[in-house]
Amino acid sequence: MRLLTHNFLKCNEENCTGGYPLQIKLDDTSSENVKILEQDFNKEFVKNVLSKVDYDVLYNTAKQFGISLLFSYTSQHLEDEGFLNSIHHALFKIHIMEGSLICPQCHVSFPIKDGIPNMLKGN
Amino acid sequence: MISSSEFKINFDFIYNDEEVKKNVYLPSSDTFTFIDALENEIDNIPSDVNMVLEMGTGSGYLILSLYELLKRKNKNVDIFYCVDINKSACNCVKNVLRKNNILNVEIINNDLFNNIRKCEQFDLIVFNPPYVPTEQDEMNTTNIVASYAGGKYGREIIFKFLLNVYAYLNKSGVIYILLEKNNKPHEIMNHTHITEKFLCSLLKKKKTLNETIFIYKLKKKVS
């Protein structure tokens, strides 16, 4: 599961409001709970995706994985390949393989196994 | 070096794995009809599509056939999303991707758009839905039954999808969806909610012994 996906996922349990962002908890018993994988850089795609994601959530989540993004950005930064590359790295190259997503509001836990989050109710 | 025009997906896993054969919807005539329609549409798909979503990916046969078609025409997709309520289907897709060394895919074990934020994030959405009319007792499962159980007129899931999808599409977003005669496609496509939000066109109609399949293209109308 990439951080792009994490940015799009929220809690949908009944009576839960404010179930975003979900907290990422890694499975410490797993030998490879996070992987870094290469992905081709497409400048226009990164700029496009930036307009869709919640940047604050991306900033905070990237920090959890040791990536220090710019706290905020301007339209000038959108032409800065260094900046775009850091976004590309954070959104696409970090893969959460084993862990869980926890709702900050109702505390329900969605497991991530082999990179696939299971968002089904009551699991 | 294999040229793009010879790019071919290896689907063997779908046909050889016991768990898949038991628990996942295997490619069938509806799947192949859908792929035919997409093949005829391929030139209308932009060369640079960023994010594609398949709802109800099943074995992955449809989305990976689309992947194959796009690759052969040198069209680039940055990232594919595969969503399925059936965990065995998600695992099947994961395995087929691994065998073909395809990495730019995200898989989510999820019920339609539940738990996904509306961000107008997708350029293209494909859905071969559960379309068989069934009783209520076959609804609300997460196993292979979910691949065909459509409830009343076989269109309960279809409506759930269509009434939610708009905000997940970017402004030039396109949907390809399969319907069957029992769903009363004309009623669905003339539903006010659909006509006010989408421009609809019928791409293909195919009659087989037991069913008549309709492949529709819906283009987002921007207000």
CA gap A57, A75 in Å, rounded: 19
Touching check for A64 and chain B: CB below 8 Å? no
pLDDT at site B60:
98
Query: Quick check: B78 and A114 CB within 8 A?
Result: no
B48 confidence band (pLDDT: 50, 70, 90):
confident
Q: Does B87 touch chain A (CB under 8 A)?
A: yes
Pick the residue of A9, A38, A116 with the most B CBs within 10 A to test the interface with B by mutation: A116
Neighboring chain B residues of A39 at a CB cutoff of 8 Å: 103-104
Nearest to B109 among A8, A10, A116 (CB): A116
Higher local confidence (pLDDT), A29 or B2: A29
Per the CB < 8 A criterion, the answer to whether B98 and A116 are in contact is no
Q: Would you list the domain boundaries of chain A?
A: 3-117
Which tens digit of pLDDT belongs to each residue from B94-123?
Answer: 999 999 999 999 999 999 999 999 999 999
Is the minimum CB–CB distance between B86 and chain A shorter than 8 Å? Answer: no
Higher pLDDT, A48 or A16: A48
Does A48 lie at the interface with B, CB-CB under 8 angstroms? yes
Pick the CATH number of A3-117 from 1.10.10.10, 2.40.160.210, 3.40.228.10, 2.20.25.10: 2.20.25.10
Q: Could you give the CA distance from residue A32 to residue A46 in angstroms, rounded to a whole number? A: 27
Contacts of A2 in chain B (CB under 8 A): 106
What is the distance between the alpha carbons of residues B129 and B115, in angstroms, rounded to a whole number? 19
This complex has an ipTM of: 0.96
- CA atoms in the 13 A half-sphere facing the CB of B7: 18
Nearest one of B218, B212, B188 to B30, comparing CA atoms = B212
Confidence of residue B159 (pLDDT cuts 50, 70, 90): very high
Can you tell me the distance from the alpha carbon of B9 to that of B47, in angstroms, rounded to the nearest whole number? Answer: 20
CB contact under 8 A, A39 and B91: no
Rg (CA), chain A: 15
Among A12, A45, A118, the residue with its CB nearest the CB of B78 is A45
- Nearest residue, CB atoms, A119 vs list B114, B119, B121: B114
pTM (predicted TM-score): 0.96
* CB spacing of B119 vs A53 below 8 angstroms: yes
Tell me: cis bond preceding A21? Omega within 30 of 0 counts.
Answer: yes
- Asked if B47 reaches chain A (Cβ–Cβ under 8 Å), the answer is no
Those residues with Cβ within 8 angstroms of residue A16's Cβ, 6 or more apart along the chain or in another chain: A103, A105, A106, A108
Q: What crossing angle do the helices spanning B29-41 and B61-72 adopt, rounded to 10°?
A: 20
A120: helix, strand or coil:
coil
Residue A27, classified by CB atoms within 10 Å of its CB into exposed (0-12), middle (13-18) or buried (19+), is middle
Does residue B60 come out as left (phi exceeding 0), alpha (psi in the -120 to 50 range) or beta?
left
For B50, the closest chain A residue by CA position comes to A45
A116 has a pLDDT exceeding 80? yes
In chain B, the domains with their CATH numbers are 22-220 (3.40.50.150)
Residue A12 Cα distances to A19, B98, B112, B159, angstroms:
7, 30, 12, 19
A9 touches chain B (CB under 8 A): yes
Q: What pLDDT score was predicted for residue A13?
A: 78
Are B121 and A52 inside 8 Å of each other by CB?
Answer: yes
Phi, psi of A3 (to 5 degrees): -70, -20
